[in-house]
Amino acid sequence: MDNHRTRRAALAAAIGTLTMAGVAAVIVAAPPSNAATATLGSAAAAKGRVFAAAVANGHVGEAQYINTFDTEFTGLTPENEMKWDTTEPSRGTFNFAAADNLVSHAQSHSMKIRGHTLVWHSQLAPWVNNITSGTDLLAAMRAHITGVATHFAGKIQYWDVVNEAFDGGSRRQSIFQQLIGDSYIEEAFKAARAADPTAKLCYNDYSTDGVNAKSTAILNMVKDFKARGIPIDCVGFQSHLIVGQVPGDYQANLQRFADAGVDVNITELDVRMPTPASQANLQTQADDYRKVVSACLAVTRCTSITVWGVTDKYSWVPNTFPGQGAALLFDENYAKKPAYNSTLTALGGVVTSASPSVSPSVSPSASNSTSPPPVGGCAVTYDMNAWNTGFTTSVTVKNNGSTAINGWTLAFTLPSGQAVTGAWNATIAPSSGAVTARNMSYNGTIAAGGSQNFGFQATHNGNTAKPTAFTLNGSPCSS
């Protein structure tokens, strides 16, 4: 899946249950006592899993992109660089430059690598679509698999050998299906095993996250392959989801594949929503990510989770689904979203106030210091969305002055019975009473006439009153 392809309609249909109380994790001002679980990758490793991201070679030169990836992830899937149109643009002539660069980077950081993908009806080199003979296409397919998988042999943990071969409960009528027939999938797996005996070989598809006709057809294929000795080691569940629609039987579906004797991998996870993203949808998205991660952890043979991209800035979603996006764990400015916190917490990690990455031009120490009080005043907008035992807030701090603020703290008092349980775009301490929200390393500047926004989730005992006074760097603000 990527932003270069034509996408089909909705990917998941079952409605998930929103559990707001489990959405956000606590952000604390002090470093964690166990720094080994302070990132997605390290927390997943402590659970015996890989937490990976799809990476585009064209973005690795962007410092914030690659720093975020290197800090947070322990696995890499090339987004497009191993697909047929790139690796074998003309018959018998292979090009591995872009893929080699990503593989080398992953190896230098001791990351696991997922090969994606050997046989797929989309992003084929034009010459493949000009083949008219089944015998010739089978020979070309075997040669392609041999050339690519042999080149990367010993470097790949999992190969997506065949991608998206089903359309609902039946075989997709791709060129491979039409010219070769049902046998092409097993022939692809046999060729991949011969080319790379050490990699685990996977079938990968979308809209298979719940128990449905498509996932059942794939399960039946897996059982048939296992019974006949066709080499298949895992099934990938893309999990391109819609906010609030994680299937209720997601875990049960993963488990039935594991029971059939294969590993299960979440391979292209994202959760899209209408944009601009609302605070409510961001919170629902956080719960969706938690559900997916928790399901994987509950299935022993679920060994890896891959999100389809590092940042919303480069997500494939907006180009494919106009008006939708905000599908990943880091926003367009690389800020950690509520879904990041819920994911890390679900993995058993410790959420900290540390920025995911810092632009080389920004000094973390400078951004954590504060300016003098704003000259010209400030204003605070405090929006609350409450339910029976908790609430979320969106707080906007505006600088009404004529000079920029570089580093800010906003002090206010939470009414009795309220306690912060999680925050984004700021650190808040202590959790109740007179609290102080401090900027992160990436949002410490408030331009003259500009504003910054942060938010938090909290519990309450029935008192949903709002704070009555705010001070920005010691100066009272209007509200």
* Catalytic residue selected from 72, 79, 187, 268: 268
3-state secondary structure of 377: coil
* Catalytic residue selected from 88, 164, 186, 187: 164
Catalytic residue list contains 186: no
Q: Which helix (H) or strand (E) is 383 found in, with range?
A: strand 378-386
Distance between CA atoms of 269 and 375, rounded to whole angstroms? 46
Catalytic residue list contains 268: yes
User: What contacts 105, CB < 8 A, 6 or more positions away?
Assistant: 60, 66, 76
Q: What is the DSSP letter of 464?
A: -
Distance between CA atoms of 159 and 197, rounded to whole angstroms? 11
Distance between CA atoms of 375 and 472, rounded to whole angstroms? 11
3-state secondary structure of 299: coil
Whether 437 and 470 have beta carbons less than 8 Å apart is answered as no
Number of other residues whose CB lies within 10 A of the CB of residue 23:
26
3-state secondary structure of 296: helix
Whether 83 and 115 have beta carbons less than 8 Å apart is answered as no
Q: Which helix (H) or strand (E) is 429 found in, with range?
A: strand 426-429
Closest to 454 in 3D by CA, of 439, 473, 434, 470? 439
Catalytic site positions: 164, 268
